[in-house]
């Protein structure tokens, strides 16, 4: 499936004293008016803005009204100086944040040049220049706050009106989006988690399937990011909720390097109430390194980051499985009376004038002798599937299932302790090159990838799911100063997410052929596996039946341009972008069959009268629901 989205050019003319001309969505902006001590405008003042990390300098002249403007600035540290014959002004040190609009008026004093430095540019408590709402997660936070698993969006919860959400964006509740360690379920301002839009260095980083974060960068590769919650300008609008705007680090004239590793182990953990006597295995390692610096001083810079994540943790779950006697058809130990559906006959005492009910049944059945299903009537398919279901391994009693809800309350309930290992492995890297060009132009290119390899236990031992995902993101941006009053920003972006999920027995075990089930099992080796069966009171048997296997490639291509022009004390901005969404996919849904069993076929009155057993109906091969 492919679709094109064209964002029409946005024309913004802002009135007197308001130079709201931010360029690409991650760019910061400075403007203001140069005046003398009496408040009169000073035209012809040369204002130079220099990025201290890279030495990139831009120079503009104030207009006849004394106005000046700098658009499309990378977040970071800057020095601002103003020069006019017969006047002086201190050099100002600025800190600019992602997508920040800073209004900075300059006052020139009469006299010779004096050496002075003034620190300005911190975020104002009350923003007078625009009406946008949002919170910047600063470099100090991304660098120093501990994050379990290193997932950068956890920091977004620090912004006002942001809460943890649920749904497919959590990464483990929808088979078409299975990324257990990549939670992007944020509810912002009461909106749904699928109402957010994600940007990385100004280009889209949003998977269009569920509006999730496609590539999640390492915190060590991020300079800062902003969660913008409302009143944003025309550069945004990919979704109606929050705009999460992430900016990566860049190199500078100084060489910087770091290496790190974070470790978690069950050695340091306490035992949970539902854990067995020994604390379940846990080994979590997050390690990486980064390096940034100059290739050519004041001209070409690089930044590279690599990070690995390894999680292996034991899951202890208490579940319900059939006992050995039940598998042989003997229900005499359960306290249940089971009835033979083949013995169904009319009830001679049925009163047609009254509603049919367990107290006035239309039909009756005879009980199986000794509450035992004869061996000759047990389905070979049912017994064949049970051969792959483990026997009870613990005393029977109340406990918690894989879904953390009690399964059954009978004497055979919660009789199996399931100990399996969940695995989440990933590797990611980022490489960014920045180039300073003559006359204040700038060019940068970045490529990032994240490869995920996971195994998630499901249902009972022998049944689980693997996922093999690859997220890639690339951005190329060129900022061109056409003149001292005109700036143009052109960018190209690519975001691609490949997701492949398959069951433990896909490609390896052709259970359909082994069991002799007819009418299901199409799709070749990729669709091999065990049929899925739910029996009331027991944990499900078989491989996951939805989206296993499934493979899709979500690709977004983006091209955009924004042109800024300053006329006197007015500012004009024109821009637009186009995005091509491409979503090829193949998958299997219930190709091996889906079956549900209840006690209905083995009750005395063929109604919900409290007799019978769902497992007895399963042994007889009588499902109430069959799907393929």
Tell me, what's the pLDDT at 9? 38
pLDDT band at 131; cut points 50, 70, 90: low
CA distance 619 to 617: 6
- Decide if 46 is inside a domain: yes
- Decide if 429 is inside a domain: no
- Decide if 95 is inside a domain: yes
Q: What is the pLDDT of residues 294-351, one digit of tens each?
A: 999 999 999 999 999 999 998 888 899 999 999 999 999 888 899 999 999 999 999 9
**Cβ contact 615:538 at 8 Å:** yes
Specify the number of domains making up the chain.
1
Tell me, what's the pLDDT at 154? 87
Residue-number span of the structural domain to which 71 is assigned: 14-125
pLDDT band at 112; cut points 50, 70, 90: confident
- Average pLDDT for 221-244: 81
CA distance 537 to 412: 9
- Decide if 427 is inside a domain: no
- Decide if 524 is inside a domain: no
- Average pLDDT for 599-604: 94
CA distance 289 to 260: 6
Q: Is the pLDDT of residue 127 over 60?
A: no
Where do we find the tokens 């900075």? Answer: 104
Tell me, what's the pLDDT at 113? 60
pLDDT band at 410; cut points 50, 70, 90: low
pTM of the model: 0.83
The two tokens of residue 162 are 């942001």
CA distance 229 to 252: 32
pLDDT band at 411; cut points 50, 70, 90: low
According to DSSP, the residues that pair with 447 across neighbouring strands are: 431, 474
Tell me, what's the pLDDT at 22? 34
Q: Is the pLDDT of residue 121 over 60?
A: no
According to DSSP, the residues that pair with 509 across neighbouring strands are: none
- CATH number, domain at 117? 2.60.40.1120
Q: Tell me the average pLDDT of the chain.
A: 85
**Cβ contact 599:611 at 8 Å:** yes
- Average pLDDT for 429-458: 94
CA distance 264 to 538: 34
Tell me, what's the pLDDT at 206? 93
- Average pLDDT for 435-451: 94
- Average pLDDT for 602-607: 93
- Decide if 447 is inside a domain: no
- Decide if 561 is inside a domain: no
Tell me, what's the pLDDT at 114? 61
- Decide if 288 is inside a domain: no
Residues of the chain with pLDDT > 70, as a percent, come to 88
Q: Is the pLDDT of residue 85 over 60?
A: yes
Tell me, what's the pLDDT at 137? 78
CA distance 395 to 387: 21
């Amino acid at each position: 499936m492919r679709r094109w989205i064209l964002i029409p050019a946005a024309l913004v003319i802002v009135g007197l004293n308001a130079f709201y001309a931010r360029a690409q969505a991650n760019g910061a902006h400075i403007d203001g008016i140069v005046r003398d001590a009496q408040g009169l405008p000073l035209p012809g003042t040369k204002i130079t803005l220099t990025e201290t990390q890279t030495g990139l300098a831009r120079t503009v002249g104030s207009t006849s009204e004394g106005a000046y403007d700098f658009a499309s600035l990378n977040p970071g540290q800057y020095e601002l100086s103003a020069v006019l014959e017969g006047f002086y002004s201190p050099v100002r040190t600025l800190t600019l944040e992602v997508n920040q609009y800073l209004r900075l008026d300059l006052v020139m004093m009469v006299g010779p040049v004096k050496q002075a430095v003034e620190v300005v540019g911190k975020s104002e408590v009350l923003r007078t220049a625009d009406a946008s709402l949002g919170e910047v997660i600063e470099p100090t936070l991304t660098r120093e706050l501990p994050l379990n698993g290193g997932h950068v969006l956890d920091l977004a919860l620090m912004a006002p009106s942001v809460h943890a959400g649920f749904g497919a964006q959590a990464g483990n509740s929808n088979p078409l989006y299975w990324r257990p360690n990549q939670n992007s379920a944020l509810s912002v301002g009461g909106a749904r988690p699928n109402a957010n839009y994600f940007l990385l260095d100004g280009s889209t980083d949003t998977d269009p399937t569920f509006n999730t974060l496609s590539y999640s960068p390492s915190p060590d590769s991020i300079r800062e990011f902003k969660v913008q919650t409302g009143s944003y300008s025309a550069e945004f609008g990919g979704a109606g909720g929050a705009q999460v705007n992430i900016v990566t680090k860049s190199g500078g004239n100084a060489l910087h390097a770091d290496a790190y590793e974070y470790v978690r182990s069950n050695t340091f953990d306490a035992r949970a109430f539902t854990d067995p006597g020994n604390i379940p295995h846990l080994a979590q390692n997050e390690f990486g390194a980064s390096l940034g610096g100059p290739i050519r001083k004041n001209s070409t810079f690089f930044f590279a980051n690599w990070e690995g994540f390894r999680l292996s943790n034991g899951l202890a779950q208490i579940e319900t499985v059939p006992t050995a006697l039940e598998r042989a058809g003997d229900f005499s130990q359960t306290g249940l009376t089971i009835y033979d559906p083949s013995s169904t006959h009319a009830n001679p005492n049925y009163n047609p004038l009254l509603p049919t009910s367990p107290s006035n049944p239309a039909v009756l059945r005879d009980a199986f002798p000794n509450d035992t299903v004869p061996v000759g009537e047990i389905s070979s398919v049912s017994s064949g599937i049970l051969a792959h279901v483990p026997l009870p391994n613990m005393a029977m009693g109340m406990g918690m299932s894989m879904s953390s809800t009690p399964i059954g309350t009978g004497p055979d309930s919660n009789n199996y302790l399931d100990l399996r290992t969940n695995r989440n492995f990933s590797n990611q890297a980022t490489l960014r090159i920045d180039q300073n060009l003559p006359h204040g132009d700038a060019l940068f290119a970045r490529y990032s990838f994240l490869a995920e390899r996971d195994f998630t236990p499901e249902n009972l031992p022998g049944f689980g799911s693997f996922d093999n995902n690859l997220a890639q993101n690339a951005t190329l941006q060129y900022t061109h100063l056409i003149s001292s009053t005109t700036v143009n920003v052109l960018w190209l972006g690519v975001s691609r997410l490949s997701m492949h999920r398959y069951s433990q027995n896909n490609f390896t075990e052709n259970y359909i052929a082994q069991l002799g089930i007819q009418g299901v099992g199409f799709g070749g080796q990729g669709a091999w596996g065990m049929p899925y069966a739910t029996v009331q009171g027991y944990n499900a048997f078989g491989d996951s039946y939805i989206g296993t296997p499934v493979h899709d490639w979500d690709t977004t291509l983006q091209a955009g341009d924004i042109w800024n022009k300053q006329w006197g004390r007015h500012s004009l901005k024109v821009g637009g972008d186009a995005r091509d969404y491409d979503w090829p996919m193949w998958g299997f849904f219930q190709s091996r069959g889906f079956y549900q069993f209840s006690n209905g076929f083995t009750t005395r009155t063929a109604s919900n009268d409290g007799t019978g057993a769902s497992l007895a109906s399963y042994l007889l091969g009588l499902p109430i629901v069959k799907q393929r």
